[in-house]
Amino acid sequence: MVAIIQYNAGNVQSVQYALQRLGVESIVTDDEALIRSAEKVIFPGVGHAAPAMKYLRERELDQLINSLKQPVLGICLGLQLMCNHSEEGDTVCLGIFNEQVRLFHSTDLKVPQIGWNNIYDFRSPLFHSLTENDFVYSVHSYYASLGNETIAKTDYILPYSAALQKDNFYAVQFHPEKSGPVGETILKNFIKLS
């Protein structure tokens, strides 16, 4: 069973449908016991960092997430909230990854980045059987910079962390649930993690 964390940021339905297509059972919940006992946890998110962190703190979901022992996958805003700090609303985040989340700045490229871009430099079983520069779908104005925990990169305005990993915590900036067969493979790889 996969627990998808329910909170005030985002559209979790697509993640659940994606798992359903893989034949994986999931539940959307904010119940501590259910989340703790799940084999895998997905922390999705679309929205603004500040109200999302506020919501998580008020319900002590922040402490719950940080203390999880099973594989956890953050998606999009989920990845950003798992970093130290986000420039979006000058928000202190969960601090799982030792990274800063910054706003893209460009005079010629559009912000947010919307669409399909390459991922490369894989350093995790999450990308097992994928090919360097495979395409994934992203929608975001903020990014996590490169660091020791970077397990895949994408270039937009600058190279940034397309994915991060520390211990049992994994996170991707793009949307695997919307990234066609490549995204499906990544979700499958996550489900297979032990």
**Catalytic machinery residues:** 76, 175, 177
Query: From the list 29, 70, 117, 124, which residue makes contact with other proteins (rule: CB under 8 A)?
Result: 117
Q: Is 89 in the site for other proteins (CB under 8 A)?
A: no
Q: How far is the CB of 179 from other proteins (least distance, A)?
A: 7
CA 145 to each of CA 10, 150, 183, 192: distance values in angstroms, whole numbers, following the listed order: 23, 8, 22, 27
Ramachandran category for residue 50: left, alpha or beta (phi over 0 → left; psi -120 to 50 → alpha): alpha
User: Closer CB to other proteins, residue 68 or residue 189?
Assistant: 189
Q: Is 139 in the site for other proteins (CB under 8 A)?
A: yes
Beta bridge partners of 2: 26, 40
Q: Is 188 in the site for other proteins (CB under 8 A)?
A: no
- Residues in region 5-44 near other proteins by CB under 8 A: 11, 13-14, 17-18, 20-21
Ramachandran category for residue 87: left, alpha or beta (phi over 0 → left; psi -120 to 50 → alpha): alpha
Query: From the list 31, 32, 115, 123, which residue makes contact with other proteins (rule: CB under 8 A)?
Result: 115
- Residues in region 39-78 near other proteins by CB under 8 A: 46-48
Sheet architecture: strand order including 158-166: 26-29, 2-5, 40-43, 72-75, 169-172, 158-166, 150-156
Q: Is 146 in the site for other proteins (CB under 8 A)?
A: no
Q: Given the rule CB under 8 A, which of 32-40, 55-63, 84-92, 129-137 is the region that contacts other proteins? A: 129-137
Q: Is 112 in the site for other proteins (CB under 8 A)?
A: yes
User: Closer CB to other proteins, residue 160 or residue 169?
Assistant: 160
CA 11 to each of CA 4, 82, 190: distance values in angstroms, whole numbers, following the listed order: 11, 18, 20
Q: Given the rule CB under 8 A, which of 61-69, 84-92, 134-142, 165-173 is the region that contacts other proteins? A: 134-142
Residue from 163, 159, 160 nearest 179 by CA: 163
Sheet architecture: strand order including 91-92: 91-92, 85-86, 100-103, 142-144
Residues of this chain that bind other proteins (CB under 8 A): 11, 13-14, 17-18, 20-21, 46-48, 109-118, 120, 133, 135, 137, 139-140, 154-156, 175, 177-181, 183-184
